[in-house]
């Protein structure tokens, strides 16, 4: 509460002091060229007004300064006597923001478009189709933007603000994926919703996990106290009440600078079918723990990571590795084809790691228990025991090779404590205990 009064007093005094000052004039005037742009583009008041509320406006950086192009640029177009391009690429932004651009170019984000040449891409383009890839996959991963002969942009590839967009000038990424045109606001980019444009859904529900977590709950409660609109934004110096995605993955701490190379604090690869440590994971882990330490003591942080590490190893060993090897065995023994997505078990395995197994791991890593369990391991286990194993058995029988399934059971199930219940059933003692509980609590018998 005391902060509230201090803020109110400060606000009052500043208002009085500022009330006769010239408040509507930028520090630097727009250029002659930009003034010309505005003559017509005032008909698009949204973007003009957004820009007037931006730091760019204050700095005299206007339409022309960003959109000007060289005649030799692939997407250069003559526009009422000016040579401009629609796309302002990271290379363009880098003229004033070289550090940020270099970090982003080096990041995983800048390579997000590459995935469309992979298994995911096969899925999208073959099983789905190009028009679905254009409005779906590429809106997050980025398109390879093609300029037409006149400099206009091929609509198969644009509009697009995917984070891994390949621009006509060869640069990768798009700053406005996060710093939305034309405010380019730091405040907006720091909000969790910004990351949630892409980091959500059945295959990587980071947004949903964050919202469920204490971090997201505190953000909802105290977001107005976080000083998100301030240029300097150091956890533990400028705000204290909640972290956003940016806090942990990008923003400054008392010991680290802000970085636009996301991924530099990630010590586990939780996306892959089977999780492995990332390169230089020890340094990355240390950097993340440094973020945690703004609010959490060492026992908490170490305890958290012990639980996470054990969970990831458990996921790998109980489900992910066996599932992968079982499918491989079925392929090697000629029970199923070596192609993807043409057998039921291909889809089951795919969703086990790509959807369910990621949800589990993201839930665990960001403290969202519902995602770790119900959307996660519960779904993984249900798939493994009630879909994958029965389908493996049936596939072997259909192929006239029941001995392959026997080998699977002998290798992956029998004699492994964690799968004992599958062949031997539940311990009777536990079941009796459970029935007693339901009778007492709900006054009814449980089946």
Residues 201-230 that bind a copy of itself (CB under 8 A): 201-203, 211-214, 216-218, 220-222
Site residues for a copy of itself, 228-257, by CB under 8 A, read 235-237, 240-241
Work out whether 29 is an interface residue with a copy of itself (CB under 8 A).
no
The nearest distance, CB 98 to a copy of itself, in angstroms, is: 25
Q: Which stretch binds a copy of itself (CB under 8 A): 30-38, 65-73, 93-101, 382-390?
A: 382-390
Q: Cβ closer to a copy of itself: 1 or 149?
A: 1
Work out whether 12 is an interface residue with a copy of itself (CB under 8 A).
yes
Q: Cβ closer to a copy of itself: 117 or 283?
A: 117
Q: Which stretch binds a copy of itself (CB under 8 A): 163-171, 332-340, 392-400, 404-412?
A: 332-340
Site residues for a copy of itself, 333-362, by CB under 8 A, read 337, 339-342, 344, 347, 349, 360
Site residues for a copy of itself, 142-201, by CB under 8 A, read 152-153, 155-156, 158-159, 161, 180, 183, 185, 187-188, 191, 193-194, 196-198, 200-201
Of positions 95, 135, 286, 410, contacts a copy of itself by CB under 8 A: 135
The nearest distance, CB 443 to a copy of itself, in angstroms, is: 7
**End-to-end Cα separation, the chain, in angstroms:** 54
Which of 417, 423, 392 has its CA nearest to residue 318?
Answer: 417
Work out whether 86 is an interface residue with a copy of itself (CB under 8 A).
yes
Q: In 3-state terms, what secondary structure has residue 427?
A: coil
Q: Which residue has the tokens 């606000």?
A: 11
Q: Cβ closer to a copy of itself: 280 or 306?
A: 306
Q: 276 pairs with which residues across the strands?
A: 269
Neighbours of 321 (CB within 10 A): 14
Q: 68 pairs with which residues across the strands?
A: 84
Q: Which residue has the tokens 């996306």?
A: 271
Question: Where are any strands of DSSP class E within 37-129?
Answer: 77-79, 82-84
Site residues for a copy of itself, 54-73, by CB under 8 A, read 58
How many whole angstroms separate alpha carbon 399 and alpha carbon 379? 28
Neighbours of 162 (CB within 10 A): 23
How many whole angstroms separate alpha carbon 155 and alpha carbon 148? 10
* Helix residue spans in 111-226 (DSSP H): 119-122, 130-135, 137-141, 186-190, 192-195, 206-212, 214-222
- For 269, the enclosing helix (H) or strand (E) is strand 268-269
Q: What are phi and psi of 20, to 5 degrees?
A: -105, -5
Work out whether 265 is an interface residue with a copy of itself (CB under 8 A).
no
Work out whether 364 is an interface residue with a copy of itself (CB under 8 A).
yes
Number of residues that bind a copy of itself (CB under 8 A): 159
């Amino acid at each position: 509460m005391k902060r509230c009064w201090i803020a109110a007093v400060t606000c009052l005094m500043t208002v009085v002091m500022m009330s006769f000052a010239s408040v509507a004039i930028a520090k630097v005037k727009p250029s002659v060229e930009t003034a010309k742009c505005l003559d017509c583009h005032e008909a698009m008041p949204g973007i003009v007004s957004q820009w007037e509320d931006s730091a760019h406006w204050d700095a005299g950086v206007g339409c022309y300064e960003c959109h000007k192009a060289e005649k030799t640029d692939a997407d250069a177009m003559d526009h009422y006597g000016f040579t401009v391009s629609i796309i302002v690429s990271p290379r363009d932004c880098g003229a004033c923001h070289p550090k940020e651009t270099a970090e982003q170019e080096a990041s995983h984000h800048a390579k997000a478009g590459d995935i469309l040449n992979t298994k995911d891409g096969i899925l999208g383009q073959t099983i789905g189709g190009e028009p679905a890839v254009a409005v779906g996959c590429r809106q997050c991963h980025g398109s390879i933007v093609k300029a037409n002969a006149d400099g206009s942009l091929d609509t198969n590839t644009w509009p697009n603000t995917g984070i891994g967009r390949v621009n006509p000038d060869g640069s990768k990424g798009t700053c406005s994926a996060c710093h939305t045109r034309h405010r380019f606001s730091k405040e907006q980019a720091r909000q969790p919703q910004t990351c949630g444009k892409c980091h959500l859904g059945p295959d990587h529900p980071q947004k949903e996990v964050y919202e469920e977590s204490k971090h997201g709950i505190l953000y909802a409660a105290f977001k107005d106290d976080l000083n998100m609109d301030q240029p300097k934004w150091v956890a533990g110096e400028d705000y204290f009440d909640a972290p956003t995605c940016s806090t942990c993955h990008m923003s400054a701490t008392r010991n680290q600078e802000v970085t636009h190379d996301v991924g530099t604090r990630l010590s586990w690869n939780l996306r892959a079918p089977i999780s492995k440590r990332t390169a230089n994971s020890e340094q990355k882990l240390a950097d993340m723990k440094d973020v945690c330490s703004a609010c959490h003591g060492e026992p908490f942080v170490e305890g958290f990571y012990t639980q996470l590490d054990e969970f990831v190893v458990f996921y790998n060993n109980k489900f992910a590795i066996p599932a992968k090897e079982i499918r491989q065995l079925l392929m090697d023994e000629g029970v199923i084809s070596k192609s993807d997505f043409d057998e039921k078990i291909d889809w089951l395995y795919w969703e086990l790691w790509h959807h369910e197994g990621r949800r589990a791991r993201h839930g665990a890593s960001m403290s969202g228990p519902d995602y770790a369990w119900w959307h996660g391991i519960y779904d993984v286990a249900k798939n493994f025991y009630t879909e994958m194993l029965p389908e493996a058995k049936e596939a072997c029988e259909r192929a006239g090779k029941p001995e392959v399934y026997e080998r699977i059971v002998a290798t992956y199930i029998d004699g492994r404590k964690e799968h004992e219940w599958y062949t031997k059933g539940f311990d009777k003692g536990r079941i009796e205990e459970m029935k007693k509980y339901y009778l007492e609590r709900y006054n009814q018998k449980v089946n």
